[in-house]
C-alpha cells in the first residue's frame, strides 16, 4: 500500500534533485530545495511522488522562467543563487577532500549573472506547420525555447527568426542541431542535419544571414560528423579576440560560457602562477582556441597543446609573433610523457569533461613543482587530483566559478604545488 510520509530535504543530489531520507534509504525529488518540508507519497516499489510542499526552505525562490521544469537546461531555478553557489563550492571541496587533501584553502567564488551565456547547443524538430527550437527536456523531446533567462539577449533574439527560416528549408524534415557561438564578430551558426542541404536551402540561409547580420553560417552532416563542417554563407570576417591576439575561430569552437566567467577563470590561473621569468616554459594542455594561452603568455613562454586541429590552427595563425607555440597533439592517444613534461616550469591543464585520463599519471610523475588544473567536472577532478595527492602535492589556492547558472555544472581552478616555500607563504 502506498503511504504518505513527511520529509525535509537534506541536500542536493549530483543531478540537482532534492535528497530526502526515507527510513534508511535515500530518495531524490526533482526541483525540491534543501530545507523544504515535503509531503511524499511512497509506493510499494519505493517510487516516490511529491504530494505537497508543506513549508518552503528559506533558500526557495520563485523561478524566473515559465519553462522551468519542462526545459532540460535549468535543474535548480527554485534555489536562491547564493545557495547554489555555495552548493557548487561544496561539491568541489568535497571532491578534493575525497582525493585525499585536508585543510584546504578557503575558496574564492564567482557566479555569472543571468542572460550572459554566449554559446548554446540547441536542438530543433519539425512539427506540422512549425519548428520547435530549444533544449531537450531531461529525458525527451525538444522544449521550444520561448523564454530564456540564461543566454544573452542577442542570441535569444535570433530564435524566432531562426524558427521561421528553418521551417522553409527542404532539408529540415525531422530533427537537427544548431550550435550558436557569440564570437566578437557576431553570432556564428553551425547547423547539423541528417540530409545534405539543397542549393535552395543555401540561398535561403545566406539571405537570412544577411538580414540578421550573421557573419558566418556553416553546416555539417549529423550522420557523418567526422567529415567536418563546410561554410555555407559568409558575409563578413569572423574573429574573436583574446588579449592582443585576434584569431579566426572555426565553427563550433570552444568558448568559456560567458565573457565574465572567462575572465574569472583566466584571473584565477594568472593569480596561481608562481613568479616567472618571461622565458620560463609553461606547458598548457587542452588549450582550445587560446582562452588561457594568451593571458599566460603575458608572463611566460607557452607551449600550448590541443587535440582539435581547427582550434590549434586558429591559435597558431592568430598568435604569430607572440611567445606562444601552438602544438597539435591528441593527449589521450599520445600523452606528454614525464620526460617531456619535466622541461615545464608550470603545467596548466583544462581537460574535457571526462578529465585528463591517460595524461594525468605522466603529470603526477613529472616532478614539475606547480600544476594548475581547470576543471569542469568535480568527479573527474577527484580522480585526477588523487594522483597528485599520492605524488606529494598540496593545494595552494582554489577558485570556484558558477558559469552555468541554475545547472549542476561547476568550474574550478585548483593550484597544486610541491613548493614548501609557496605553501608556507599560503599558511602565513
Ligand atoms: C574544456 S576545453 C578548454 C579549452 C581552453 N582551455 C579554454 O579555456 O577555452 C577542453 C579542450 O580540450 C580539447 N581536447 C579534448 N580531448 C582532447 C585530447 N584527447 N587531446 C587534446 N585536446 C583535447 C578540446 O578540443 C577542448 O579544446
3-state per-residue secondary structure call for the chain: CCEEEEEECCEECCCCCEEEEECCEEEEECCCCCCCEEEEEECCCCCEEEEEEEECCCCECCCCCCCECCECCCCCCCECHHHHHHHHHHHHHHHHHHCCCCCCCCCEEEECCCCCECEEEEEEEEECCEEEEEEECCCCCEEECCCCCCECHHHHHHHHHHHHHHHHCCCCCCEEEEEEEEECCEEEEEEEECCCCCHHHHHHHHHHHHHCCCCEEEEEECCCHHHCEEEEEECCCCCEEECCEEECCCCCCCCCCCHHHHHHHHHHHHHHCCCCCCCCEEEEECCCCCCCHHHHHCCCEEEEEECCHHHHHHHHHHCCCCCEEEEECCCCCCCCCHHHHCCCCEEEECCCCCCCHHHHHHHHHHCCCEEEEEECCHHHHHHHHHHHHHCCCEEEEEEEEECCCCCCCCEEEEEEECCHHHHHHHHC
Query: Residue of the nearest CA to atom 11 in ligand 1?
Result: 286
Is the same domain home to 91 and 236?
no
End-of-domain residue from the set 12, 38, 55: 55
Q: Domain span at residue 257?
A: 81-113+246-427
End-of-domain residue from the set 241, 275, 290: 241
Q: Tell me whether residue 344 is exposed, middle or buried, using C-beta atoms within 10 angstroms of its C-beta: 0 to 12, 13 to 18, 19 or more.
A: buried
Is the same domain home to 266 and 403?
yes
Binding-site members are 256, 286, 306, 350
Sheet holding 142-144, edge to edge: 142-144, 130-136, 119-127, 175-183, 186-193, 216-221, 229-234
Is the same domain home to 124 and 258?
no
Considering the domain boundaries, does residue 195 fall inside one? yes
Query: Residue of the nearest CA to atom 13 in ligand 1?
Result: 286
Considering the domain boundaries, does residue 129 fall inside one? yes
Binding-site members for S-adenosyl-L-methionine are 256, 286, 306, 350
256 Cβ below 6 A of ligand 1: yes
Look up the CATH number of the domain holding residue 208: 2.40.50.1070
Is the same domain home to 138 and 104?
no
Considering the domain boundaries, does residue 212 fall inside one? yes
Considering the domain boundaries, does residue 420 fall inside one? yes
302 Cβ below 6 A of ligand 1: no
* Selection from 64, 73, 75 nearest residue 119 by Cα: 73
332 Cβ below 6 A of ligand 1: yes
Is the same domain home to 304 and 363?
yes
Checking ipTM against 0.90, whether it exceeds it is yes
Is the same domain home to 321 and 405?
yes
Look up the CATH number of the domain holding residue 12: 2.40.50.140
Considering the domain boundaries, does residue 69 fall inside one? no
CA of 352 to the centre of ligand 1 (A): 6
* Selection from 231, 140, 217 nearest residue 178 by Cα: 217
* Selection from 299, 369, 306, 310 nearest residue 336 by Cα: 306
Considering the domain boundaries, does residue 270 fall inside one? yes
Query: Please, are residues 130 and 118 in contact by the beta-carbon 8 Å criterion?
Result: no
Is the same domain home to 263 and 366?
yes
Is the same domain home to 234 and 307?
no
Report the residue among 295, 296, 352 best suited for mutation to probe ligand 1: largest number of ligand atoms under 8 A from its CB: 352
Q: Is 74 a residue of the active site?
A: no
Considering the domain boundaries, does residue 70 fall inside one? no
User: What pLDDT, on the 0 to 100 scale, is given for residue 87?
Assistant: 96
352 Cβ below 6 A of ligand 1: yes
Is the same domain home to 268 and 200?
no
Considering the domain boundaries, does residue 86 fall inside one? yes
Per-position pLDDT tens, the chain of length 428: 788 999 999 999 988 999 999 988 899 999 999 999 999 999 877 789 999 999 999 999 999 999 999 999 999 999 999 999 999 999 999 999 999 999 899 999 999 999 999 999 999 999 998 999 999 887 778 999 999 999 999 999 999 999 999 999 998 888 999 999 999 999 999 999 998 899 999 999 999 999 999 999 999 999 888 888 999 999 999 999 999 999 999 999 999 999 999 999 999 999 999 999 999 999 999 999 999 999 999 999 999 999 999 999 999 999 987 799 999 999 999 999 999 999 999 999 999 999 999 999 999 999 999 999 999 999 999 999 999 999 999 999 999 999 999 999 999 999 999 998 898 887 54
Is the same domain home to 252 and 315?
yes
Domains identified in the chain, total number: 3
Is the same domain home to 138 and 211?
yes
End-of-domain residue from the set 188, 218, 241: 241
CA of 408 to the centre of ligand 1 (A): 21
CA of 285 to the centre of ligand 1 (A): 8
CA of 312 to the centre of ligand 1 (A): 10
Look up the CATH number of the domain holding residue 402: 3.40.50.150
Is the same domain home to 277 and 416?
yes
User: What pLDDT, on the 0 to 100 scale, is given for residue 426?
Assistant: 79
Amino acid at each position: 500500500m502506498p503511504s504518505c510520509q513527511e520529509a525535509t530535504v537534506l541536500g542536493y543530489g549530483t543531478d540537482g534533485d532534492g535528497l530526502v531520507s526515507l527510513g534508511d534509504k535515500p530518495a531524490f525529488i526533482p526541483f525540491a530545495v534543501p530545507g523544504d518540508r515535503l509531503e511524499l507519497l511512497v509506493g510499494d516499489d519505493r517510487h516516490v511522488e511529491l504530494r505537497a510542499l508543506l513549508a518552503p526552505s528559506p533558500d526557495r525562490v520563485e523561478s524566473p522562467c515559465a519553462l522551468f521544469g519542462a526545459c532540460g537546461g535549468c535543474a535548480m531555478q527554485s534555489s536562491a543563487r547564493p545557495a547554489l553557489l555555495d552548493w557548487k563550492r561544496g561539491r568541489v571541496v568535497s571532491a578534493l577532500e575525497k582525493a585525499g587533501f585536508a585543510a584546504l584553502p578557503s575558496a574564492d567564488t564567482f557566479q555569472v549573472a543571468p542572460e550572459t551565456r554566449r554559446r548554446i547547443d540547441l536542438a530543433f524538430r519539425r512539427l506540422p506547420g512549425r519548428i520547435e527550437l530549444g533544449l531537450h527536456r531531461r529525458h525527451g523531446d525538444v522544449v521550444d525555447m520561448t523564454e530564456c533567462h540564461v543566454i544573452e539577449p542577442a542570441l535569444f533574439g535570433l530564435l524566432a527568426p531562426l524558427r521561421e527560416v528553418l521551417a522553409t528549408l527542404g532539408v529540415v524534415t525531422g530533427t537537427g542541431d544548431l550550435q550558436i557561438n557569440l564570437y566578437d564578430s557576431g553570432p556564428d551558426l553551425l547547423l547539423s542535419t541528417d540530409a545534405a542541404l539543397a542549393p535552395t536551402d543555401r540561398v535561403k540561409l545566406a539571405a537570412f544571414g544577411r538580414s540578421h547580420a550573421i557573419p558566418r553560417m556553416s553546416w555539417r552532416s549529423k550522420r557523418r560528423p567526422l567529415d567536418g563542417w563546410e561554410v555555407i554563407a559568409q558575409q563578413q570576417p569572423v574573429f574573436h579576440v583574446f588579449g592582443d591576439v585576434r584569431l579566426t575561430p572555426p565553427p563550433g569552437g570552444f568558448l568559456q560560457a560567458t565573457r565574465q566567467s572567462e575572465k574569472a577563470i583566466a584571473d584565477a590561473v594568472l593569480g596561481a602562477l608562481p613568479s616567472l621569468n618571461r622565458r620560463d616554459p609553461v606547458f598548457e594542455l587542452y588549450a582550445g582556441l587560446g582562452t588561457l594561452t594568451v593571458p599566460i603568455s603575458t608572463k611566460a613562454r607557452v607551449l600550448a597543446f590541443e587535440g582539435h586541429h581547427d582550434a590549434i590552427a586558429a591559435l597558431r595563425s592568430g598568435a604569430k609573433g607572440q611567445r606562444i607555440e601552438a602544438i597539435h597533439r591528441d593527449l589521450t592517444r599520445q600523452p606528454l610523457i614525464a620526460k617531456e613534461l619535466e622541461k615545464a616550469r608550470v603545467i596548466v591543464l583544462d581537460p574535457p569533461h571526462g578529465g585528463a585520463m591517460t595524461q594525468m599519471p605522466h603529470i603526477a610523475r613529472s616532478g614539475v613543482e606547480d600544476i594548475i588544473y581547470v576543471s569542469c567536472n568535480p568527479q573527474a577532478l577527484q580522480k585526477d587530483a588523487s594522483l597528485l595527492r599520492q605524488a606529494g602535492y598540496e593545494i595552494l589556492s582554489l577558485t570556484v566559478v558558477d558559469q552555468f547558472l541554475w545547472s549542476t555544472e561547476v568550474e574550478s581552478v585548483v593550484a597544486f604545488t610541491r613548493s614548501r616555500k609557496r605553501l608556507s607563504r599560503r599558511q602565513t
